[in-house]
Amino acid sequence: MKQKRQFFGTDGIRGTVGIPPITPDFILKLGFALGSVLKNGYSRNKVLIGKDTRISGYMFESALQAGLSAAGMDIRLLGPMPTPAIAYLTRTFHAVAGIVISASHNSFQDNGIKFFSGEGSKLPDEVELTIEAEMEKQMRTVAPDRLGKAERIEDAAGRYIEFCKSTIPYDVSFKGLRIVVDCAHGATYHVAPSVFRELGAQVETIGTQPNGLNINAGYGATQPQALQTAVLYQNADLGIALDGDGDRVIMVDAKGEIVDGDELLFIIAQARHKVNTLQGCVVGTVMSNLGLEQALEKKGIPFKRAAVGDRYVLEMLKETGGNLGGESSGHIICLDRTTTGDGIITALQVLAASVQTGLPLHILKTGMHKCPQLMINVPITPGLDIISQPSIQKAVTEVEQQLKNQGRVLLRKSGTEPLIRVMVEGTDMQKVENAAHQLAEVVKVEANG
């Protein structure tokens, strides 16, 4: 039986600041545990730490630094940087690991910790389990002459900007494009606008004034309404909405319509397929719209579904030899460009496809027709697992019978929030809405005891 993780979810450790485990003492011990584990298995002893713009990042950066130093690990501090930038810099600095202090798309009250390996990929489950086991032991600081040292990397942003620009052909220019970039007051605020400007685009920005408390507040990939308004007001060609830590992106076309992760994945897959650089299967998740699967099938492109979470998309890509996968939420992994989901790099691939074909975003997405889909998030008590309850399973069966093999039903527990996600998909929107609300009501009753 697979050992259950106590603290790590699908995307690291996350929660509300001040409530265990997101407390300074826990993070201190987590840093020490990581340092102790890495010392045992690796010859290098350098760890990078980056963070997003939420105010608690200062506190947790110091706690991690102290724990790692006590374990004898050297530290390189990046300051506010996008999650995928930390993955990239971990590789280029030949560090043994990279640490991200971020709660991604959550509000400032939350924070979290996630790790990258020296190769720039999420740590395997077994390593996370080893870290958890190490945390049960007493902290024993190394001898004073073995304590780790800390240095700040001053040119981290410039290094990452140049890397992003290198992911599209050198002869592709965005000159003449007018775009709006929404950085969600998050970690991309000081890098994303520069990337697109340096490639020739005329860039207007929103969500680029972080104050520690406004990350993801009314802006970004999870709240793209402000971007839709800005694109129309600015008469822009398109808009790019990144989330708080920069690993996901949602775009807006010139008509002000949202282009989600499934559509972005289709656009990139189609572009790669035309020039024969698409390898293996395109990988989505169980939440990916059926329309994506159908559109790729028409192009002769194989498609597979992984469990929700970019780590599982990456695992399936490696298993199938693929180089492109992603989620409806906008986590897109271009393995032929980088090792993890990257909102800026994803947007660059889409813009490059637009420039190379001469087609605007609203035309590029027309090859895919989304099936009606509705997802309802039902709050539950943290730790509660009710999906297997007979009343819920009976309700699922009833909904599936109503859809008559012309749709899908999916219930899943969120890996990052205390929610049950109820998703229904089909060919008729009215039936989908009725079925989703019917099923969500049953889940609510069970959740409330």
22 with 150, same domain?
yes
Whether the pLDDT of residue 245 is over 80: the answer is yes
Least confident of 217-226, 276-285, 361-370, 384-393: 384-393
Rg (CA), the chain: 22
- Mean pLDDT of all residues in 179-196: 98
Whether the pLDDT of residue 196 is over 80: the answer is yes
Q: How many domains does the chain have?
A: 4
Of 257, 289, 321, which closes a domain? 257
Of 216, 237, 257, which closes a domain? 257
**Cα(260)–Cα(184) distance, rounded to whole angstroms?**
17
Instruction: Note the pTM of the prediction, 2 decimals.
Output: 0.90
20 with 146, same domain?
yes
**Cα(54)–Cα(210) distance, rounded to whole angstroms?**
8
125 with 31, same domain?
yes
358 with 379, same domain?
no
Least confident of 24-33, 37-46, 86-95, 281-290: 37-46
Q: How far is CA 218 from CA 156, 158, 255, in A?
A: 28, 28, 21
420 with 309, same domain?
no
Q: Is residue 162 part of a domain?
A: no
- Asked if residue 378 lies in contact with residue 422, where contact means CB atoms within 8 angstroms, the answer is yes
Q: Is residue 2 part of a domain?
A: no
The CA angle 284-259-263, to the nearest 5 degrees, is 30
19 with 146, same domain?
yes
Whether the pLDDT of residue 4 is over 80: the answer is no
17 with 150, same domain?
yes
Q: Is residue 216 part of a domain?
A: yes
Q: Is residue 161 part of a domain?
A: no
Check if 354 is active-site: no
Of 370, 395, 420, which closes a domain? 370
Cβ-based neighbours of 424, under 8 Å, separated by 6 or more: 373, 374, 399, 403, 407, 408, 409, 410, 432, 435, 436, 439
**84: preceding bond cis by omega (within 30 degrees):** no
pLDDT band at 6 (very low <50, low <70, confident <90, very high): confident
Whether the pLDDT of residue 29 is over 80: the answer is yes
CATH code of the domain containing 147: 3.40.120.10
Range of the domain at 209: 175-257
54 with 111, same domain?
yes
pLDDT digits over 105-133, tens only?
999 999 999 999 999 988 888 889 999 99
Token output for 98: 């990279």
Cβ-based neighbours of 137, under 8 Å, separated by 6 or more: 33
122 with 61, same domain?
yes
Tell me what pLDDT residue 11 has: 80
**Cα(138)–Cα(24) distance, rounded to whole angstroms?**
16
94 with 191, same domain?
no
Whether the pLDDT of residue 43 is over 60: the answer is no
pLDDT band at 76 (very low <50, low <70, confident <90, very high): very high
CA-based nearest residue to 50, from 80, 90, 16, 70: 80
Longest Cα–Cα distance of the chain, Å, equals 70
339 with 364, same domain?
yes
23 with 128, same domain?
yes
pLDDT band at 341 (very low <50, low <70, confident <90, very high): very high
pLDDT band at 402 (very low <50, low <70, confident <90, very high): confident
Q: Is residue 4 part of a domain?
A: no
Catalytic residue among 69, 104, 117, 354: 104
Q: Is residue 393 part of a domain?
A: yes
Q: Is residue 384 part of a domain?
A: yes
**Cα(35)–Cα(66) distance, rounded to whole angstroms?**
11
